[in-house]
Amino acid sequence: AAMEEGEGLLSVDYEVFGKVQGVFFRKYTQGEAKRLGLVGWVQNTSHGTVQGQVQGPTARVRELQDWLRKIGSPQSRISRADFSNEKEIPALEHKDFQILK
């Protein structure tokens, strides 16, 4: 039987565009991911965006995707969030949610 939506583990790459550097976006993303029990990473890019990967239960990953699209850190202004490489995974590939330099 196929797993119900929300039962399996999902891995998604993301990139967030807008005013997202120098506004504690990575710190808030890490905090939100940890609150949701997700693992992965986040980092600034050289072209002014924030990118990373998130893994965890499908329903929780969806919550973080919404957060990355609409909320972000208090000082941020998100113009858009792109998601790619979405796939179901048998097990988590990260131990926690890290901020990469």
- Quick one: pLDDT at residue 52? 98
Can you give the pTM of this predicted structure? 0.91
Q: Point out the residues that are catalytic.
A: 26, 44
Contacts of 42 (CB under 8 A, 6+ apart): 25, 26, 29, 30, 33, 50, 51, 52, 97, 98, 99, 100
State the pLDDT confidence band at 3, using cuts at 50, 70 and 90: very low
pLDDT in tens, 35-85: 999 999 999 999 999 999 999 999 999 999 999 999 999 999 999 999 999
Number of domains in the chain: 1
- Domain housing 32: 9-99
**Distance of alpha carbon 101 from alpha carbon 6, whole angstroms:** 31
Residue 54 belongs to some domain of the structure: yes
Residue 72 belongs to some domain of the structure: yes
Residue 1 belongs to some domain of the structure: no
- Quick one: pLDDT at residue 11? 98
Residue 90 belongs to some domain of the structure: yes
With 70 as the cut, is the pLDDT of residue 4 above it?
A: no
CATH number of the domain enclosing 95? 3.30.70.100
Looking at residues 19-48, what average pLDDT do you find? 98
